[in-house]
Every structure is written in C-alpha cells, then in structure tokens.
Amino acid sequence: MMFRWLPRRTGILVVTAMSAGCMSGIDLLANGGTSGVTDLANKASEIASHVGGTDGFGGTLMDGYFDHMPDHMGFDVTNDLAGADAHMMVLLRNESDQDGTFHLSYIDSHMGLTEQDMDVVVGAGEDVTVEIPCSEIVGIGSLDTPGALGCHLDDGETIDNTMSVPGFLGQDFMCNGTYACVLVQDVNDLDGDGDTQELIILSDAMEFHMMNGGPYGHMHGSGPGMMGSHMGF
C-alpha cells in the first residue's frame, strides 16, 4: 500500500464540520456558498463517529480516532470534494480459501449523500480491482453500521465490516489512486475477542491509522501509536 503524507489545513475544519452558521465570510466565498460541502462534511462526521470504541469500526484500537477527525477530514471547501469526472480504483483481496463476494460501499457527493453499493466477486487467493467514481467516503458494507455484512463466502459464511474503517478522500486516499481492502485471517486478533482463526476485512484506513503515530504523525490513544509497538506496524 502507498502512504501519502499530505499537509492539511487545520483549525477552521472544526467549525465547518459542525456548523455552517459559523463559517467565515472568506470560507463562504471559497465554497461558493453552496451547501454541498457542508452536507458532505456532516455526513463524514456522522460516519467517523462510528469509528472506535468496543462496538465501533476498528474496535478499541481506534479509540480516540473521532477526536482527531475535525483536524484531518478536510471537507471544508468545494475543492476538497471529489472532482465530478474523477475516478478511483478499489482493490479487493481475498486471502481466504473460498470465493467471496465483497459488498463495496461509497458516497460520491455528485450522486448525493446516499450510499452507493457494488458487489464484487473475488476468487479465493485473488485480487480484483474495480473502478468507481472518485468518492469522498469508501468502505465495506454499510458505512455507518459497524458489524454489518461486509463479505459472504461461497459456503454462506459471512464476515462483518467491523475492521473495515471507512476511508476518507484526502486523508486515506486520493482521486485517481487506489484504496484497498483485504479479507484476511485475524492472526493478530485486532478485534480483541481472542479468536485468531476468524476472517476479518481490513481496510487501508484501518491499517493506515494503526501505524505507529498514525497519519500526519498523530496518535489516537495514549500509548505509543495505535497498536503499541508490539504489533509491528
């Protein structure tokens, strides 16, 4: 996977994500006075609020994630939205021993704030890359429902989307880039339930935010990095 270290503006994002009424005149001019970016920012904040915590995306490994979101999400002016004609790639990898169907979800503000869905069949041990419109938010299964169906295998086994932390444009991926999710055995017990045999779906955003220091050198929790150095990330 590729990591991108992009400087982001900070400071005014808190205001923009929480309340359009607090936007400065300069910001209103910059985004043309449209409500599109504010609506998207609110939707992104709502989805990010489901990250972390015992039942949230990424579980307790993502504790503190949401506290950092206003600084990093970056949907404050129209230019922060996906380009109308831009595309992106999503790579889905199936490391299980059965064929599986991934339930890809994305929100492209040009199509409204309704979640778009695409089922992608990926053979055992294979990768499939699909092209979608460049989207501000990408994930597996329902974007605001941790624990929702993320993938089903040929024998009917289902894998939830809990470890598929949704990715956000500008933070976790860029237009014309590739965002990846992998169905893999939970050998490091990332969800902390003691089961290292089960399958989980890991997203780039999950892996990205688990890195020591996290994106932009921030940390979500109080320990050394998201995972602690023992996990080797």
Which residues bind to Ca ion, rule: CB under 5 A? 186, 189, 191, 193, 195
Distance between CA atoms of residues 60 and 86, nearest Å: 34
Q: Would you say 39 or 189 has its CB closer to Ca ion?
A: 189
Q: Would you say 78 or 188 has its CB closer to Ca ion?
A: 188
Strand partners, 181: 92, 203
User: What is the DSSP secondary structure assignment for residue 170, as one 8-state letter?
Assistant: T
| SS3 call for 61 | helix
The answer to whether 142 and 160 have CB atoms below 8 angstroms apart is no
Q: Would you say 108 or 191 has its CB closer to Ca ion?
A: 191
Q: How far is the CB of 198 from Ca ion (least distance, A)?
A: 5
Q: Would you say 62 or 107 has its CB closer to Ca ion?
A: 62
Neighbouring residues of 132: CB distance < 8 A, sequence distance ≥ 6: 87, 88, 89, 90, 104, 106, 108, 116, 118, 138
Q: How far is the CB of 102 from Ca ion (least distance, A)?
A: 18
The answer to whether 87 and 176 have CB atoms below 8 angstroms apart is yes
Distance between CA atoms of residues 26 and 10, nearest Å: 15
> Which of 107, 114, 105 shows the shortest CA–CA distance to 149?
105
Q: How far is the CB of 103 from Ca ion (least distance, A)?
A: 18
Distance between CA atoms of residues 117 and 132, nearest Å: 10
Q: Would you say 32 or 228 has its CB closer to Ca ion?
A: 228
Q: How far is the CB of 223 from Ca ion (least distance, A)?
A: 19
Q: Would you say 126 or 195 has its CB closer to Ca ion?
A: 195
Report residue 126 as tokens.
């294979």
Q: How far is the CB of 188 from Ca ion (least distance, A)?
A: 8
Q: Would you say 109 or 161 has its CB closer to Ca ion?
A: 161
Neighbouring residues of 162: CB distance < 8 A, sequence distance ≥ 6: 57, 58, 59, 146, 147, 191, 200
